[in-house]
Chain A
Amino acid sequence: MLILDIVSALLLIAGGFFGLSGAIGLFKFPDFYTRVHSASVTDSIAVILIMGGLLLQTSFDINTAKLLFIMLFLMLTSPTASHALAKSARHGGLASMAEAKMDEQENNNNG
């Protein structure tokens, strides 16, 4: 069982690393739409790695099924939530960074 433990530990540590990098990106990125992308890194790859690592810890019982169910559910809903949020921001009129710069240049040229 040692090889399973080592693989599980590696997966968990990789998942933690990706989660941390996604969270730091939440502060470093300049624009809202890029921040959505950074948050979705924690929602997708970090979940897969950490849940994969935890899956290797279970002996093949009901907890395996529950972890798989959580993974399936999160894989279905987190991209949808990010998509819904970005679309709602677009409808609300939030301009991306490139568009904001173009608007500023137009104002400078006109004014």
Chain B
Amino acid sequence: MTVVLSAVCITILIVMALAMARAFNAKTVYDRILGVNMFGTKTVLFIAASGFLMGRPDFLDIAIVYALINFIGMIAVLRFFEYTAPIE
């Protein structure tokens, strides 16, 4: 089981790295926001999976906080775009 969990952790790390790469080279500013949002939700999965891998499932509180903070960040970004127009 630890082999499967390690493989899943590494896969989620690769997905996070790909989302970050998208956030780094973004064609439009919305692509950047998409990358950051995806990074946040993948971090939730990563914490849950690695918590089970290391045998310390009390990390799940932090996963809940991440999911929350990611959502609030997205809404703040949306509100920001209601006020200012994107530069492109």
Contacts and interface: CB of A to CB of B under 8 A. Distances in A.
Q: Is the interface of B mostly helix, strand, loop or mixed?
A: helix
Interface in A1-53: 5, 8-9, 12-13, 15-16, 19-20, 22-24, 26-27, 32, 35-36, 39, 42-43, 46-47, 50-51, 53
A73 B67 contact: yes
Interface of B: 1, 4-5, 7-8, 11-12, 14-15, 18-19, 21-22, 27-28, 30-31, 33-35, 37-38, 41-42, 44-45, 48-49, 52, 57, 60-61, 63-64, 67-68, 70-71, 74-75, 77-78, 81-82, 85-86
A81 interface: yes
Contacts of A35: 31, 34
A80 B75 CA distance: 10
Contacts of A46: 45
B4 A42 contact: no
Interface of A: 5, 8-9, 12-13, 15-16, 19-20, 22-24, 26-27, 32, 35-36, 39, 42-43, 46-47, 50-51, 53-54, 57-58, 63, 66-67, 69-70, 73-74, 77-78, 80-81, 84-85, 88-89, 91-92, 94
